[in-house]
Amino acid sequence: MLRQVFGGILRSPLVRPLRRLKAIVRPDSFLKTRKRVAQKYLHGEGIEVGALHNPLPTPQSARVRFVDRMSVEDLRRQYPDLATLPLVPVDIVSDGETLSSVPDQSQDFVIGNHFLEHCEDPIGTLKNFLRVVRPGGVVYCAVPDKRFTFDRDRPLTTLEHLIADHQNGPAVSRRGHYEEYAEFVHDRHTPEDIQAMADHLIEIGYSIHYHVWTQREVLELLGWLSRTEPFDVELVLKNEGEVIAILRKHLT
């Protein structure tokens, strides 16, 4: 049940990290909160990025197309641990960070549930979410609080790190992210083991959690970004082991 509820949190190539997840989850409460927020804010035509087997429940007034970086067939090869679960159809094959296949101001909403932590450049991703949303449209984001996931032992991602990844390009820090993931999530402790696990994950192009936050860091990021980007933060809500944020794009 945890795997079905948390979706993006549990994308891991090995079983061991899943066994280390010790969050206390009340699925009914968790899903009801998501649904209640979606009912209030999501209407019209929009997209959800990286939904895999766990799309956000949306109201009848919302029509959703699904975006992912691979076809369903390729996703099944990439995530064999999801073999028994139904995946949503991929309507648009595109890099979810750039949304290069999605025109500007073409969507009433964008959903990114447990997606930002998989992004090498979360600032650039949020800018592109806002780019494709129409004036007055909504970005719905939920990110896991690292304290309730297998990331709990990893150091927090600072705002300064996110800014550097955005300004200098993520390639500069990519290797370090994989090595940190190997050490703290997969319990690799010798330099040789850390390097070997990082090499393997990079070779297969596995989508790790590049960045990790608590609610405090999410608020700091959104506050900083709102100084230069045309949106207001309409809602920040702690929902069990995740933080939901609703961003409303300015009308002008």
- pLDDT tens-digit series, residues 20-47: 443 445 567 888 999 999 999 999 999 9
Q: What's at 205, amino acid-wise?
A: G
pLDDT (tens digit per residue) in 75-100: 998 888 888 899 999 999 999 999 99
Please list the residues that pair with 142 across neighbouring strands.
113, 244
Q: How far is CA 67 from CA 92, 95, 158, 222, 226, in A?
A: 5, 8, 28, 23, 25
Phi, psi of 199 (to 5 degrees): -60, -45
Largest CA distance in the chain: 54
Q: What's at 164, amino acid-wise?
A: A
Residues 6+ apart with CB under 8 A from 241: 6, 9, 23, 25, 144, 145, 147, 148, 149
Contact between residue 121 and residue 174 where contact means Cβ atoms under 8 Å apart: no
What gap in Å lies between CA 98 and CA 16, rounded to an integer?
32
What gap in Å lies between CA 201 and CA 199, rounded to an integer?
6
pLDDT score, position 205? 86
**Average of per-residue pLDDT across 48-53:** 96
- Looking at domain 2-150+209-249, which of 3.40.50.150, 3.20.20.150, 3.90.400.10, 1.10.3680.10 is its CATH number? 3.40.50.150
Closest CA to 49 of 135, 123, 132, 105: 132
pLDDT (tens digit per residue) in 156-215: 999 999 999 999 999 999 999 999 999 999 999 899 999 999 999 999 888 899 999 999
Q: What's at 126, amino acid-wise?
A: L
Buried/exposed 225-248: b ≥16 CB within 10 Å, e otherwise? beeebebeeeeeeebbbbbbbbbb
pLDDT (tens digit per residue) in 112-148: 999 999 999 999 999 999 999 999 999 999 999 999 9
**Average of per-residue pLDDT across 57-65:** 97
What gap in Å lies between CA 27 and CA 34, rounded to an integer?
11
What gap in Å lies between CA 42 and CA 176, rounded to an integer?
37
Residue 7 pLDDT more than 50? no
If you average pLDDT over every residue of the chain, what do you get? 89
pLDDT score, position 26? 58
pLDDT score, position 14? 42
DSSP 3-state assignment of 116?
helix
Q: Is 100 exposed, middle or buried (0-12, 13-18, 19+ CB in 10 A)?
A: exposed
DSSP 3-state assignment of 54?
coil
pLDDT score, position 22? 39
